[in-house]
C-alpha cells in the first residue's frame, strides 16, 4: 500500500513474497508501466473525447517495498503542463460545461479517478464471470432506475454494476488488462487501488489462480472486428442505438451483435436522444485510429454524418432493460 495516501489518487501494485524487496527486472517493469498506461489511457479516452485526441503523458511515481506505480494527486497539473499550448484548446472545449478554475486540475483528476475505477470494475466483472471474452449476456437485471445492471454468472449469482462501467466492459478489448496481468506469478499478485479523501476506498486484486481471466497470450489476442470495415471507408449500416454519452459526445450502435462507438462529425449527440433503443441507419466514415498515431484499432469506430430512424418500434435486446 502506498505510504503517502495524500500524494496520489490511485495505484497499480505487485505484492507478495516474491517481490518483498520491491524489485522488478527492467523488462517486467517496462511491461507493467506500458500496460498500465495503455489500459488507463483507454478508459480515460472513453470518458473524455477531447482528451483522447491529445498527446498527453501520464505521470507515475514508482515506489518500492512492494512494487507500486502511483498516479500523483497533481496529475491534472502534470498533464496540462505537458500539453502546453494544446491544453488551451482542451480547456476551451470543456469551458461550456465546467468553470475554468474548477476544470484545470480537479476535472482532470476526476477523469483519471474514473479511469482507475473502470479498471477495477473490469476486474470485478471478469472474476465474477470467469472471463472477459463472453460478452453476449442474458438474464440481466436492472435496479435504481436502471442506473445499475445485474450480471449473472453460470451459478446465477448476480453482481450489480453501474451502467457506465457495464458499457465499458462491453466495449473494451478482452486483452485490455493483459499486459499488467502477465507479471502475475506464484507469490506475486496484482492490485489496483483508488484513493479518495486520503483513504484507500477499494483495492481490487488478481491472484495467480485468476490470471488466466485477464492475460491473453500474443497469439490469442483479439481478432480484428469486421475487417472489411477499413479505415476511411464510407458506410451505411443498419443497427440499434444503445446509449448516448454527452460527456464523450458519442453513441453506442449495435451492429451484428457488437456495439460500436460512434461520434457525430458535427454537433452534440444530445439531439439523438429520441433515437435511443430504436433501429437506425448510420452513415459516416470508419475510423481505426488506435491512440498511438496509427490506424490499427481492432474495433472500428464511426464518425457519422447522419443517423436516421428506421422504425419507431423499440427492438428487444438482452443488453437493455425491458419497460417496467
CATH for 251: 2.40.50.140
- The reply to whether 53 and 117 lie within a common domain is yes
Residue 12 is predicted with a pLDDT of 92
Residue 101: band (very low, low, confident or very high) from pLDDT cuts 50, 70, 90: very low
> Looking at 188, 220, 252, which one is the last position of a domain?
220
- The reply to whether 74 and 109 lie within a common domain is yes
3-state secondary structure of 188: strand
- The reply to whether 241 and 289 lie within a common domain is yes
- The reply to whether 284 and 197 lie within a common domain is no
pLDDT over 50 (residue 323) = no
What's the domain count of the chain? 2
- The reply to whether 182 and 278 lie within a common domain is no
Residue 210 is predicted with a pLDDT of 95
Q: What is the pLDDT of residues 275-322, one digit of tens each?
A: 988 899 999 999 988 765 667 788 899 999 999 999 876 554 444 333
Q: How many CB atoms lie within 10 A of CB 14?
A: 23
**Assigned domain for 62 exists:** yes
Say if residues 288 and 296 touch (Cβ distance below 8 Å).
yes
Q: Across residues 21-43, what is the average pLDDT?
A: 84
Residue 314 is predicted with a pLDDT of 58
Higher pLDDT: 323 or 168? It is 168
Residue 130: band (very low, low, confident or very high) from pLDDT cuts 50, 70, 90: very high
Say if residues 245 and 272 touch (Cβ distance below 8 Å).
no
> Looking at 164, 189, 220, which one is the last position of a domain?
220
Q: In the block, which residue shows the cell 417496467?
A: 324
**Assigned domain for 136 exists:** no
Q: Give me the chain's average pLDDT, please.
A: 81
- The reply to whether 178 and 298 lie within a common domain is no
- The reply to whether 285 and 191 lie within a common domain is no
Among residues 76, 67, 59, the alpha carbon closest in space to that of 2 is found at: 67
- The reply to whether 190 and 264 lie within a common domain is no
Higher pLDDT: 66 or 210? It is 210
- The reply to whether 45 and 84 lie within a common domain is yes
- The reply to whether 194 and 290 lie within a common domain is no
What one-character DSSP code corresponds to residue 185? Answer: B
> Looking at 197, 220, 243, which one is the last position of a domain?
220
Cell of 7: 500524494
Domain region containing 81: 5-131+173-220
Q: Across residues 15-31, what is the average pLDDT?
A: 78
Amino acid at each position: 500500500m502506498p505510504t503517502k495516501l495524500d500524494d496520489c489518487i490511485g495505484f497499480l501494485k505487485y505484492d507478495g513474497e516474491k517481490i518483498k524487496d520491491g524489485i522488478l527486472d527492467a523488462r517486467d517493469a517496462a511491461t507493467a508501466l506500458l500496460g498500465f498506461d495503455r489500459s488507463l489511457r483507454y478508459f480515460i479516452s472513453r470518458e473524455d473525447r477531447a482528451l483522447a485526441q491529445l498527446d498527453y503523458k501520464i505521470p507515475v511515481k514508482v515506489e518500492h517495498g512492494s512494487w507500486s506505480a502511483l498516479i500523483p494527486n497533481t496529475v491534472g497539473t502534470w498533464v496540462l503542463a505537458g500539453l502546453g499550448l494544446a491544453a488551451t484548446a482542451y480547456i476551451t472545449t470543456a469551458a461550456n460545461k465546467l468553470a475554468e478554475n474548477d476544470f484545470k486540475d480537479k476535472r482532470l483528476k476526476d477523469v483519471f479517478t474514473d479511469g482507475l475505477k473502470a479498471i477495477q470494475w473490469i476486474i470485478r466483472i471478469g472474476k465474477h464471470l470467469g472471463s472477459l471474452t463472453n460478452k453476449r449476456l442474458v438474464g440481466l437485471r436492472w435496479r435504481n432506475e436502471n442506473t445499475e445492471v445485474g450480471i449473472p454468472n453460470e451459478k446465477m449469482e448476480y453482481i450489480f454494476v453501474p451502467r457506465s462501467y457495464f458499457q465499458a466492459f462491453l466495449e473494451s478489448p478482452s486483452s485490455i488488462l493483459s499486459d499488467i496481468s502477465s507479471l502475475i506469478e506464484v507469490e506475486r499478485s496484482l492490485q489496483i487501488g483508488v484513493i479518495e479523501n486520503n483513504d484507500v476506498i477499494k483495492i481490487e486484486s488478481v491472484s495467480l489462480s485468476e490470471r488466466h481471466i485477464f492475460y491473453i497470450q500474443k497469439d490469442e489476442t483479439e481478432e480484428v472486428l469486421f475487417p472489411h470495415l477499413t479505415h476511411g471507408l464510407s458506410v451505411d449500416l443498419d443497427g440499434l442505438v444503445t446509449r448516448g454519452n454527452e460527456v464523450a459526445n458519442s453513441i453506442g450502435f449495435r451492429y451484428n451483435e457488437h456495439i460500436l462507438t460512434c461520434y457525430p462529425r458535427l454537433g452534440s449527440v444530445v439531439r439523438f436522444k429520441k433515437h435511443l433503443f430504436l433501429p437506425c441507419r448510420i452513415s459516416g466514415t470508419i475510423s481505426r485510429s488506435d491512440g498511438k498515431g496509427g490506424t490499427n484499432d481492432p474495433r472500428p469506430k464511426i464518425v457519422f454524418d447522419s443517423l436516421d430512424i428506421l422504425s419507431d418500434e423499440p427492438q428487444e435486446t438482452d443488453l437493455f432493460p425491458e419497460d417496467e
